[in-house]
Structure 1
Amino acid sequence: MTSNTRVVVIGAGLAGARLARRLGELGASGGTAGAPALSVELVGEEEHRPYNRVLLAEVLAGRYAPEVIALPVPGRLTRARVTGIDRAARTLRCADGSVIAYDTLVLATGSNPVLPPLRGLFGHGGHELPEGVHAFRTMDDCLGLSKAVRPGARAVVIGGGLLGVSAARALAVRGAQVVLAQQAERLMERQLDPSASRLVHRHLTELGVEVHTECRVRDVRCVGGAVRSVEMADGYALDADLVVLACGVHPRVGLAQDAGLAVHKGILVDDELRTSDPHIRAIGDCAQHEGTLYGLATPALEQADILAELIAGDTTSRYTGTRSLTRLTLTGGDTPFDLAAFGEPEPRPGDDVIQLADATRGTYRKVVVRDDRVVGGVLVGELGTVGALARAWEGAEPLPSDGAPLLHLLTNDGGS
């Protein structure tokens, strides 16, 4: 049982807000017998109410207003930028000069967008992006893009991963002329196999998005501080009113490093989500558990729930990793697009693969089976089977030898 009572959470994103809410619920229900009362303070530096970052593309597409994706946050929310951690005194220093004391500190600092080393991106040694160039990570990024985009605007999205595909589609739905530049050989190569990537490519193309793969951007050209074009490595130039940087994210670990905590790529945590300081925990995008940085919503929420139980006095809870499923639903136009990917969608030698494809309907389903167990899969289009397939994967139970139940999972749209 912990003797800590004052819990301070840095970061008001999905993980931090979820933790604060769960601690509030556990506190209201009395928590574990004999556990101390908890005082929870959530510290976030954004001016906006905490929100679901996963749905930013829907705000950009015009489907949701910003307030629709706001998160409930019980208890105390402080808007401040933490600049330092004094581990000996157990206090935080903030940019406005204030000091916040803690008994247990939770780092839910999330991640920052990767800004590629392009010529012209930061002119004259400055740190501000040129006018018309946007990252796509925060509500301010989203609102800035929403204000700038207009029908016919020429937009270049750099990066063809999950975020880049979402941004390209949202901008196309808003009427922009969109070019998507992806350095890898196909879209969403980390989550999807080649067949599924081709369907994503086709979907974007049908919306009017011009997709370029195996294409590296080397230069952002500005006039008067505003972007005018981007230049590819082969010298080809694209006119641009807007440029969206969707090149991935990296964990925000600066506070942890400055405080002397153990950091590799992320802040190292154990099964109780403790850092190298027993009074400091970490969850979400910034946390690295057993060598893994997840960077996804599902593991962040699971970590928050487990940590809430631990802080509230449950000594048996442990985080042992998340088998997470990537799901993308793109709406806002006449042709909604859904996909899901989990586990290992690329088979190893000796694996069994079951595939069903319907080119007319634009649907694709694939499951990889190893040693009679589902180890991965990809679904594009109609996702009625995703729930049942994901449960078969998460349970890791052997499949019956005749294969009929797996085929049933692939074809039964009532499986979710």
Structure 2
Amino acid sequence: MTSNTRVVVIGSGLAGARLARRLGELGTPALLVGEEEHRPYNRVLLAEVLAGRYEPDVIALPGLTAPAEPLRARVTGIDREARTVRCADGSVIPYGTLVLATGSNPVLPPLRGLFTPAGHELPEGVHAFRTMDDCLGLSKAVRPSARAVVIGGGLLGVSAARALAVRGAQVVLAQQSERLMERQLDPAASRLVGRHLKDLGVEVHTECRVRGVRVVAGAVRSVELADGYALDADLVVLACGVRPRVGLARAAGLAVGEGVLVDDELRTSDPHIHAIGDCAQHDGTLYGLATPALDQADILAGLLTGSSTARYSGTRSLTRLTLAGRAPSGLAPFDLAAFGETHPRPGDDVVQLADATRGTYRKVVVRDDRLVGGVLVGELGTVGALARAWEGAEPLPADGPLLHLLTHDGGS
């Protein structure tokens, strides 16, 4: 393929790899440029690698064929006029169409003592949890009875805490807000997640603000809380959210909000440059989830090859988490799913079923005869039927199907 028609994709994560594979299948091979040394992998499953349930190669993404096999390079700049990208090794790559799939970086909170005197490296024992290297480094460091503090009680923090507990660590989870996974779950579901973690031996602290880390001889020794209490720590995991990687886009003069701004064709302010995945902001929304990233990759592949005229109008995302792998206590895997609006508005209808003995909880929210959201914790047999009813956004039958949807195993 000549350089003036070549599609270059920066970023070999879930979105970039999916786009490169789809383009290849549609007869338009792309050059995929990625920084990581590992084969493209499913970042969603990193906690399963940490828990010891999967080997790293198990979560590798489907193979790409040359020339879509990733080029290992770090892109340092974009020359929009010349339509080239510059790499750290001095090489220059021409493009006809450029796609930014640069993903996101973990948020490193401004904690006292967090960085080394040089200001660039985390102290020994302090780990972000975003990449395969992060996961492998943490997996190598954890050992039975190690004292681990996880900072952040969102989806990533809960997954990391569970995985470390399964590995035999003594885990404390510190969450600044009043409950776990507050973005995805309602209070009842959050309590069940907390109960599950506590059954594993995880010590959960909500409304808990971390002030700093104490480092001795370059290694972390404790985590200091705002109330003056200190948590002894051999390991600290930072799970404080992510931030879109927009440095390349901003330096190139593209329109940037929180993410790289894109239209319904996933096109940036430069018609020759598109953006997908965690780094893209569409119609004011940053998704940061796997399903929208895959949807965007599929739609853009169709647009770039002319095989489809479908535009991107947003993704109705279902968050599903399996806290799997058997723990020393013999607890079975713990499943949860959340979709749409889990917090009802005044006038909404809500149906809930809870079984405290089995630790299961199901809830759906209905507005104007349409299913607008739901939460399931424990047994997920009905998630397939509920998700289909939600995604269809069609009026529900008038004969009261909600209880049937909550109790009938519609397939997952």
* TM tier, smaller: over 0.9
Out of 382, 385, 389, which is 2:382 matched to? 385
SS of corresponding position for 1:123: coil
What are the equivalent positions in structure 2 for 1:13-92 lying under 5 Å apart? 13-27=13-27, 38-71=28-61, 72-76=63-67, 77-92=70-85
Out of 289, 297, 320, which is 1:296 matched to? 289
User: Which ranges in structure 1 are unaligned for 5 or more consecutive residues?
Assistant: 28-37
What are the equivalent positions in structure 2 for 1:88-237 lying under 5 Å apart? 88-237=81-230
What is the identity, as a one-letter code, of the residue corresponding to 2:132? Answer: M
Out of 217, 242, 263, which is 1:249 matched to? 242
SS of corresponding position for 1:317: coil
What is the identity, as a one-letter code, of the residue corresponding to 1:127? Answer: H
Report the Cα offset of residue 69 of structure 1: 0.6
Decide whether the 8 Å contact of 1:8 with 1:105 is kept in 2: yes
Report the Cα offset of residue 402 of structure 1: 2.8
What is the identity, as a one-letter code, of the residue corresponding to 2:5? Answer: T
In structure 2, how many angstroms separate the alpha carbons of the residues matched to 1:307 and 1:381?
Answer: 36
Aligned to 1:33: none
Aligned to 1:32: none
In structure 1, how many angstroms separate the alpha carbons of the residues matched to 2:275 and 2:405?
Answer: 37
Instruction: Please tell me whether residue 414 in structure 1 is matched to residue 410 in structure 2.
Output: yes
Instruction: Please tell me whether residue 272 in structure 1 is matched to residue 268 in structure 2.
Output: no
What is the identity, as a one-letter code, of the residue corresponding to 1:373? Answer: R
What is the identity, as a one-letter code, of the residue corresponding to 1:399? Answer: L
Report the Cα offset of residue 400 of structure 1: 1.8
Decide whether the 8 Å contact of 1:50 with 1:73 is kept in 2: no
Instruction: Please tell me whether residue 340 in structure 1 is matched to residue 337 in structure 2.
Output: yes
Report the Cα offset of residue 125 of structure 1: 4.4
Q: TM (normalized to structure 2)? A: 0.96
SS of corresponding position for 2:122: coil
In structure 2, how many angstroms separate the alpha carbons of the residues matched to 1:332 and 1:166?
Answer: 12
Aligned to 2:358: 361
Report the Cα offset of residue 399 of structure 1: 1.1
Decide whether the 8 Å contact of 1:5 with 1:39 is kept in 2: no
Report the Cα offset of residue 313 of structure 1: 1.2
Report the Cα offset of residue 374 of structure 1: 0.4
Report the Cα offset of residue 5 of structure 1: 2.6
What is the identity, as a one-letter code, of the residue corresponding to 1:18? Answer: R
SS of corresponding position for 2:90: coil
Q: TM (normalized to structure 1)? A: 0.96
SS of corresponding position for 1:64: coil
Aligned to 1:35: none
Decide whether the 8 Å contact of 2:20 with 2:29 is kept in 1: no
What is the identity, as a one-letter code, of the residue corresponding to 1:298? Answer: T
Cα deviations across residues 144-171 of structure 1 (Å, max 9, x unaligned)?
A: 0000000000000000000000000000
Report the Cα offset of residue 4 of structure 1: 6.4
Decide whether the 8 Å contact of 2:107 with 2:242 is kept in 1: yes
Cα deviations across residues 198-227 of structure 1 (Å, max 9, x unaligned)?
A: 000000000000000000100100000000
Decide whether the 8 Å contact of 1:409 with 1:415 is kept in 2: no
Decide whether the 8 Å contact of 1:262 with 1:276 is kept in 2: yes
Percent identical pairs in the alignment equals 86
- Which aligned segments of 4 or more residues in structure 1 are displaced greater than 6 angstroms? none
Out of 262, 266, 276, which is 1:283 matched to? 276
Out of 373, 391, 394, which is 1:394 matched to? 391
The count of corresponding residues between Structure 1 and Structure 2 is: 403
Decide whether the 8 Å contact of 1:372 with 1:399 is kept in 2: yes
In structure 1, how many angstroms separate the alpha carbons of the residues matched to 2:66 and 2:352?
Answer: 49
Report the Cα offset of residue 315 of structure 1: 5.5
What is the identity, as a one-letter code, of the residue corresponding to 2:16? Answer: G
SS of corresponding position for 1:342: strand
Cα deviations across residues 315-334 of structure 1 (Å, max 9, x unaligned)?
A: 52211100001000011113
Aligned to 1:34: none
Report the Cα offset of residue 364 of structure 1: 0.2
In structure 2, how many angstroms separate the alpha carbons of the residues matched to 1:365 and 1:144?
Answer: 37
Aligned to 2:6: 6
Aligned CA RMSD, in angstroms, stands at 1.1
SS of corresponding position for 1:231: strand
What is the identity, as a one-letter code, of the residue corresponding to 2:76? Answer: T
In structure 2, how many angstroms separate the alpha carbons of the residues matched to 1:135 and 1:301?
Answer: 24
Report the Cα offset of residue 401 of structure 1: 2.1
